[in-house]
Structure 1
Amino acid sequence: MGKRVILNKAKPILISLCFIGVGLSVGSLVDAADSDFEKFKQQRKAEVSQFNQSKKAEFKKFRDEYLAEYDAYRGELLKFWSVPEQSSSEVEVIYTQDKQTRVKIDALTQQVVIENLTDEVIDQDVIISKLKADPNTRVLLTNINNQASLTDEKNIVNTLIDQPSEVVAEKVINEQIDTQQQQMLSQLDVQQSIEEIEIEIAAKVTPSKAKSLEIKSKLKQVNEINKQSQKRKKIADKQVEALVKINPTYKKTQVNTMRLPEDYLYKLSKDYLSFYQKQSSEMNIPLSLLLAISYAESTFDPKAKSHIPAFGLMQIVPRSAGMDVARKFYRKNQAPTSIELYQPNINIRYGAGYLSILNEQYLDGIDDPTSRQYCVIAAYNTGAGNIAKTFNGGNNRSIKQAYSKINALSPDQVYSKLMKRLPYPETQKYLAKVSKLEAKYQHQINQWNLSE
């Protein structure tokens, strides 16, 4: 008994000692693990920060190169055209390779304006033959190959007019640069929430601290964009001044105005319709809206790119719409590449996905579907934050606070307020164009054979 008692007493002591030993080992391991984890966090923070900076630098380089190329091309156009018009949110402009002829297309008015540099009236058929042979305009003529639309005398106006003065040129050039500046500033607003999330992830800071860092980051970028725009205006001024000194003798312009065929919009989109139909069904987005936005963004050029930078049919911006869709639908924290976005099926999925996020997440508190669609269209261009600011006033980007104000208005009143108070005129033009195109597509789609 006594022996057993002694053994029973000794056993707990041995067990306690074992636990002490294990405890020491675990403590050491925990300390080591904490240290390793802290190193991992710091390394991860550095990696995310480095990746973000690398991406920003990459996009800035792309933007700078794009705009430099745009400005250089304008300089080439100025040698022939006193007003070097280029594509805008309202009209698509295409030049022939020799820059002697340009075609301006307006899908809303269904009008094509062909301007040809000449001092003598040239036969209509000669101009059309040139456009059909030129690689820049060949595809366009394929889509409007309805001879009636090209040769009906009622639709053709042959006139020779003098080119405007350099004063008009300066005004148009400055408007082009201002528009591009607005587009870049608007995208900074879209990216604000993305920046905030990434700062939190990278720095492990509180939301309020992240907001402060994000605002500083945005102010820095705004300053860079404003400086760049001022620099570009000075370059443009020098281009115009250089031409004024040599006083080029500009040819007159022969203007031919024609009507687009009724099936023009269908021909532009028919190669991609199956992709649009699939995403319209899966994302619950009207087919007419997908097509209207695609026309406004790229006129259905799958290789389209812009200085934002944005890519492809629906002009997806990797760091805003691209990142939002990647996180929600692909469960990854990685923006799509330009190579991916040049593929029509991928691009349309990202565009439809972003519209779905706007419609069902960011703007889901807007009750009336027509009012919500107006806001979705504008937000696709400038972000939900600017929609909130439009109705809240000031710099209040809370969309939840804007819901009650929007819901108190009729759809027509919502549209009117957006057109008057959106922060950027470019977004106002975008909303007007897409809304009209959407109505046009809605009417025409019923006449298309979508089963082909």
Structure 2
Amino acid sequence: MGKQVISNKARPILISLCCIGVGLSVGSLVSAADSDFETFKQQRKAEVSQFNQSKNAEFKKFRDEYLAEFDAYRGELLKFWSVPEQSTSEVEVIYTQDKQTRVKIDALTQQVVIENLTDEVIDHDVVIRKLKADPNTRSFLANIESPAALADKETVLSILIDQPSEVIAEKVVNEQIDIQKQQMLSQLDAQQSIEDIEIEISAKITPSNARSLDANNKLKQVDEINQQSLKRKKIADNQVEALVKTNPIYKKIQVNTMRLPEDYLYKLSKDYLIFYQKQSSEMNIPLSLLLAISYAESTFDPKAKSHIPAFGLMQIVPRSAGMDVARKFYRKNQAPTSIELYQPNINISYGAGYLSILNEQYLDGIDDPTSRKYCVIAAYNTGAGNIAKTFNGGNNRSIKQAYSKINALSPDQVYSKLMKRLPYPETQKYLAKVSKLEAKYQHQINQWNLSE
């Protein structure tokens, strides 16, 4: 695991904790500290609810359209692949436009698997030429110094296998939907965490009362996500059942396995390194951590978007991390737009800014810098509230109460507890991946010419 220290108290936050959502006055929480919290909660509940309902409707529309496209694409893949694998937190999957070839990239193991549909073995050189010509996969090869190296038969393991049964397809597809549900629920938790922590710190209330002002709205969103996931599983089952009735004859898969070149990670990020270096210096966040999170979030695709919705290199969610950074660093109550977040320099500034907020404000009571780093990585994915729950137990989201429990543990014990008790398996995988990637980046950065 990476042991790079995140420096404590790197720079002051420009604005002290302020409002819960867009449109609330900056001083409202502070003045409320002297009043009865229940009265304060009722006064603000309608205001927060109205804003959240408006923004949630906008994001729900985006999410529904995105997932509908995702499910339709899966249906197209099922015509050719009995198991329509798509990108996960561990492996990036890219299909050619004709859906006859897919590339699976694992940066941690530096392994790439190229799978091609064919009933006869095709020369590997032919497959590489196809990937170089296809608009979906040519960028992958562009990040390799010598694509011809992938065609070196001495470094390639090639086999021809039958496609798995449709029963496996159902299992894989349902797992995909469950993962996406976890990601959406985790993001709701992250949004709630920002509200809870600001209430707990700014309103100076007791931890037992530190809870979101709009809990009913969150419960409604959770129910919508659960219902949507059930409907999507039904759609997926229907897709598989309809395909089985046609008795499809699937081609075999030619599998070519090879290693990525040592400079692959550098090639992916080199166009944006100047922005990462600038934010690393200004926010005092290790360059290795910024790069590791960016790879895990988008594999350095500046136009990446997800169903959350999140956008760009560091997958910024406008209504949570985006709004938090906008208020605290840019003195504005307006979330960044997707157009802004598709610009690498802006996106990286928001990602680094949010890491700074997590490190210096929400989790600054964690004494050991390595323990804090592990918590920051997990919180970037799921919010500081779930970090608190991990160590407090139950549904106790008070980060102040969690500090003493975390500080009583060694960094290895903190990491172990996060890996065992974080609410979502996807966040556990995220923490493991980013930690390993950061260690890899720490080692490789020393060999890069960062003055280029």
TM-score (norm 2): 0.86
1:167 equivalent to 2:155? Answer: no
- 3-state SS of paired residue (2:102): strand
Given residue 426 of structure 1, which amino acid in structure 2 is its aligned partner? E
Match of 2:222 in 1: 222
Structure whose alpha-carbon radius of gyration is higher = 1
Match of 2:134 in 1: 134
Alpha-carbon distance in 1 for matches of 2:236, 2:348:
36
Match of 1:27 in 2: none
Alpha-carbon distance in 2 for matches of 1:264, 1:148:
14
Alpha-carbon distance in 2 for matches of 1:449, 1:212:
47
Contact (CA 8 Å) 2:141, 2:147: kept in 1 or not? Answer: no
Alpha-carbon distance in 1 for matches of 2:408, 2:196:
31
Alpha-carbon distance in 1 for matches of 2:82, 2:112:
21
Given residue 185 of structure 2, which amino acid in structure 1 is its aligned partner? L
Match of 1:85 in 2: 85
Contact (CA 8 Å) 2:197, 2:362: kept in 1 or not? Answer: no
Alpha-carbon distance in 1 for matches of 2:443, 2:197:
41
Q: How does 1:14-29 map to 2 (within 5 A)?
A: none
Q: How many residues align?
A: 404
Runs of 5+ unmatched residues, structure 2: 1-43, 200-206
Contact (CA 8 Å) 1:84, 1:169: kept in 2 or not? Answer: yes
Contact (CA 8 Å) 2:96, 2:134: kept in 1 or not? Answer: yes
Q: CA deviation at 1:46?
A: 8.5
TM-score (norm 1): 0.86
Q: CA deviation at 1:195?
A: 5.4
Residue 57 to residue 103, structure 1, CA distance change in 2 (3 Å):
same
Alpha-carbon distance in 1 for matches of 2:422, 2:210:
26
Alpha-carbon distance in 1 for matches of 2:47, 2:413:
48
Residue 375 to residue 195, structure 1, CA distance change in 2 (3 Å):
closer
Given residue 370 of structure 1, which amino acid in structure 2 is its aligned partner? T
Alpha-carbon distance in 2 for matches of 1:301, 1:213:
36
Alpha-carbon distance in 2 for matches of 1:196, 1:416:
25
Q: CA deviation at 1:51?
A: 4.6
Residue 226 to residue 98, structure 1, CA distance change in 2 (3 Å):
same
CA-based RMSD of the aligned residues comes to 2.2
1:188 equivalent to 2:188? Answer: yes
Relative to total residues, which structure has the larger helix share, 1 or 2? 1
1:118 equivalent to 2:127? Answer: no
Contact (CA 8 Å) 2:48, 2:213: kept in 1 or not? Answer: no
Match of 1:348 in 2: 348
Contact (CA 8 Å) 2:181, 2:225: kept in 1 or not? Answer: yes
Alpha-carbon distance in 2 for matches of 1:292, 1:147:
24
Q: How does 1:138-153 map to 2 (within 5 A)?
A: 138-147=138-147, 149-153=149-153
Alpha-carbon distance in 2 for matches of 1:46, 1:166:
49
Q: CA deviation at 1:61?
A: 0.3
Residue 48 to residue 189, structure 1, CA distance change in 2 (3 Å):
closer
Alpha-carbon distance in 1 for matches of 2:55, 2:176:
27
Residue 262 to residue 315, structure 1, CA distance change in 2 (3 Å):
same
Residue 56 to residue 378, structure 1, CA distance change in 2 (3 Å):
same
Alpha-carbon distance in 1 for matches of 2:134, 2:311:
25
Given residue 262 of structure 2, which amino acid in structure 1 is its aligned partner? E
- 3-state SS of paired residue (1:158): strand
* Deviations, residues 105-157 of structure 1 (Å, cap 9, x unaligned): 00000000000000000000000000000000011011124246413334211
Contact (CA 8 Å) 1:149, 1:260: kept in 2 or not? Answer: no
